Amino acid sequence: MVTTPFYVAGRPVTGTEQRDVHSPYDGTLIGTYAVPGEADIEAAIAAAVAALPTTRTLSAATRAAALDHVSARLAERAEEIATLISGENGKPIMWAKAEVGRAVSTFRWAAEEARRFSGELQRLDTDPTATGRLALVRRFAAGPVLGISPFNFPLNLVAHKVAPAIAAGAPIVLKPAPKTPLSALVLGEILAETDLPAGSWSVVPADDEHAPGMVADPRLPVISFTGSEGVGYAIQRAVPAKRVVLELGGNAAAVVMADYSSEADMDWAAARIATFGNYQAGQSCISVQRVYVHSSIVEEFTAVLAAKVATLATGDPADPQTVVGPMINEAAAARVESWIAEAVEGGATVLTGGSRSGTTVAPTLLADVPADAKCLTEEVFGPVMSVAAFDTVDEVFGAVNNSRFGLQAGVFTHDVQLAFRAQSELEVGGVIVGDVPSYRADQMPYGGVKNSGVGREGLRHAMDDYTDVRVMVLTGLEL
């Protein structure tokens, strides 16, 4: 099998060491990639530093053209790349295709943001002492960015590091997850077709042992990390003087209000919750984990939900009908199995699922989960949900907020006043009304509060995180 190169300063490098990537589902060899060493990492960082003066002043047309090219090429190669994502990640092909589609949009949005990244004018003569003065407020790259991406969205979460960096004029050194590097390396192949200056980007799938040195390197003043809570906060503690953007975990809740009592409403809500509590095998930080249903409809709704969870097609990710595939490895699946067992030992009832076969965990719905069970308090990151009843809005909003995480929540209601109250009172970064918390549009600000992270993804908002404000005041103007 041909070894996929990594990319240093926009050029392919084969290195001296290789790694194989195997399917989490059946162990099939998916690809072989070259592994960068210390010298390659150093070359990538040095090139990013050298490129900064050029990327900061690169024209909007050049940035946008490169981003548009990547978007178009991803669309052209969508089938091939979706197959690769499914192979290395175990993601069912239906979700892999959706991920490629999102990455196409992510780069397209970045191109549009690059074109309008103009700053703002402020009249200062609103104060009599500032007559004739005008401020031009613009943003400039704070420095080279270290992007560290996770395994669960091996293309689109890479896109959310790389695309805003290019749009903002910030060089980026990307370290994709060692479990799923191949999709990021294909993106590197496409980026190499653009006219971006050397050093403006590198894709180095380094082993995790190199990460602390990359994080500590003073030449990379901005770090954008998506991954686990423990690793994210360890990075933040290690480099308190750096700008660290963290997109961490979640414990997402879906609330079904009493006014969702019609058969059509309950069917819609149950179908969405069943699917998005288990898509990606639950390996999404906004997959539904906690389900709260008003007591007036909880019995009927739970029956509908359990039936829909039980019928989710599970198995071979290459099968177009498969909704739930394997977890990333057997250790992850065994952990989830043990958390289910812990909940059951504490008194929880398994309404459906609860079993494991290798890397595949059956979509699981639990009731009567103890308040201290990991399935309720931690991020499961697997295909497991719990369902519980509530009586009042105060009660359920308190339950949703009773978590150290605060990424997104879903509220199924037709009451617009209640929707605004949810946005005001729920301690999360996003409230999705009439749908699951798993909904995300890639251009919107995405991120959380509490232990779900710091900063925002979503193109323009990430560009703000990667840049500093500079103000220029013009004097003596006739305004």
pLDDT digits (tens, 9 = 90+) for 438-465: 999 999 999 999 999 999 999 999 999 9
3-248+452-472 folds as Aldehyde Dehydrogenase; Chain A, domain 1 (3.40.605)
Read off the pLDDT of each residue in 424-431 and give the average, rounded to a whole number.
98
Among candidate residues 202, 176, 166, the one with its CA nearest the CA of residue 63: 166
User: Could you identify the residue written with the tokens 């003087």?
Assistant: 241
Does residue 303 contact residue 337 with C-beta atoms inside 8 Å? no
Torsion-angle region of 175 (φ positive above 0: left; ψ -120 to 50: alpha; else: beta):
beta
Residue 334 has pLDDT above 80, yes or no: yes
Rounded Cα distance, 229 and 451, in Å: 7
| Mean pLDDT of the 164-182 span | 98
Cα–chain center distance at 181: 16
What pLDDT is stored for residue 16 in this prediction?
Answer: 86
Q: What is the mean pLDDT of residues 30-35?
A: 98
pLDDT at 91 over 90: yes
Residue appearing with tokens 């959380």? 448
CA dihedral 103, 108, 111, 113 (to 10 degrees): -90
Strand partners, 121: 136
Confidence of residue 107 (pLDDT cuts 50, 70, 90): very high
Q: Can you name the CATH fold of 253-441?
A: Aldehyde Dehydrogenase; Chain A, domain 2 (3.40.309)
The pLDDT tens digits for 349-363 are 999 999 999 999 999
Question: What are the pLDDT digits (tens) for 2-11?
Answer: 999 999 999 9
The chain-wide mean pLDDT, for the chain, equals: 97
Helix axes 156-168, 93-115, angle to 10 degrees: 10
Give dist(CA 229, CA 249) in Å, integer: 6
Tell me, what's the pLDDT at 260? 98
d(CA 398, CA 409): 13
**In the 8-state DSSP scheme, what is residue 142?**
-
Q: How far apart are CA 407 and CA 83, in angstroms?
A: 30
* Those residues with Cβ within 8 angstroms of residue 195's Cβ, 6 or more apart along the chain or in another chain: 62, 65, 66
- Identify the band that residue 323 occupies on the pLDDT scale cut at 50, 70 and 90: very high
**What distance in Å separates the CA atoms of residue 77 and residue 83, rounded to the nearest whole number?**
10
- The stretch 143-153 carries a mean pLDDT of 98
Binned at pLDDT 50, 70 and 90, residue 364 comes out as very high
φ, ψ of residue 443 in degrees (nearest 5): -90, -15
The CA distance from 76 to 247, in Å, is: 30
> Distance between CA 120 and CA 285 in Å, rounded?
35
Averaged pLDDT, 376-380 = 97
Residue located via tokens 């404000």: 469
- pLDDT tens figures, 279-304: 999 999 999 999 999 999 999 999 99
Residue ranges of the chain assigned to CATH 3.40.309.10? 253-441
Query: Would you say residue 240 has pLDDT above 80?
Result: yes
Catalytic residues: 247, 285
CA distances from 6 to 205, 376, 462 (A): 7, 40, 25
Q: What are 367's two structure tokens?
A: 């009731």
Output Rg (C-alpha) for the chain, integer angstroms.
Answer: 23
> Which H helix or E strand runs over 229?
helix 229-238
d(CA 274, CA 407): 19
Domain with CATH 3.40.605.10 in the chain: 3-248+452-472
Q: How confident is the model at residue 15 (pLDDT cuts 50, 70, 90)?
A: confident
pLDDT exceeds cutoff 80 at 1? no
Percent of the chain that is helix, strand, coil (3-state, to 5): 40, 25, 35
CB 448 within 8 A of CB 292: no
